[in-house]
Structure 1
Amino acid sequence: MADQKPALVLHLATGGEPLLFALTTEESAKLTGKLAQLVKTGAVETVTTKNDAEVAINFAHVAAAYVDDLNRKTNIFGMHA
């Protein structure tokens, strides 16, 4: 089994391709529990990516957000085959 490559996946309310941010395992664990609240409240959150870049995300513009594994071969929004 390959190592996991967690990423924050953001689907913007305006549409288009999702934004992907590679994360460390620690950062993905921190985000997973609070993503729903961030989207519901439209909060601004700073996320540290795998390469130590800090990205400020305004969740008021996000329609859906989740942490996924980039190693996964197939992915249908919210479902994995």
Structure 2
Amino acid sequence: MSTHALVLHLAGRAEPLVFALSDKSAKSLVSRLPVLMGSGGVDSPELADGRTVAINFGLVATAHIDDLPVSQEAYGRVKRGTGFGG
């Protein structure tokens, strides 16, 4: 099972902001992302860990939804233990 990521590139920032999305939010944002970017709207998607984040798309240079690689750090990613009592 892959985790979906919302990848935001902000002007003046070298590294993108990466958010792990819930399946519901990822499906919803796929069609709405162009509208949010075009209008500079604000949206509060649900993250994979159940929290929400408010994003002002008026401050975002580019955005896309992608699969989140296992090794990628992301806000809202569900933390998993090591399986060794940790």
**TM score, norm. by length of structure 2:** 0.74
- 54, 57, 63: which one aligns with 2:55: 57
Unaligned 5+ segments in structure 1 are 73-81
Gaps of 5+ in 2: 71-86
The answer as to whether partners of 2:22 and 2:50 remain within 8 angstroms in 1 is no
Tell me which amino acid in the other structure corresponds to 1:19: L
Distance in 1, Cα, partners of 2:20 & 2:28? 14
| 2-structure distance, mates of 1:10, 1:62 | 6
Deviation at 1:28, TM superposition (A): 0.3
Instruction: Pick the aligned partner of 2:29 from 28, 31, 36.
Output: 31
Distance in 1 (CA, whole Å) between partners of 2:47 and 2:64 is: 15
Q: Which amino acid in structure 1 is aligned with residue 45 of structure 2?
A: V
Aligned residue number for residue 7 of structure 1: 5
CA deviation map 1:24-61 (0-9, x unaligned)? 22210001101111011111111111111111100011
More strand by share: 1
Task: Map 1:38-49 onto structure 2 (within 5 A).
Answer: 38-49=36-47
**What is the aligned-residue RMSD (CA, Å)?**
1.7
Based on CA coordinates, which of the two structures has the bigger radius of gyration? Answer: 2
3-state DSSP class of the match of 1:55?
coil
**Normalising by the residue count of structure 1, what TM-score does the alignment of the two structures yield?**
0.78
Displacement of 1:68 in angstroms is 0.4
Give me the identity figure in percent: 41
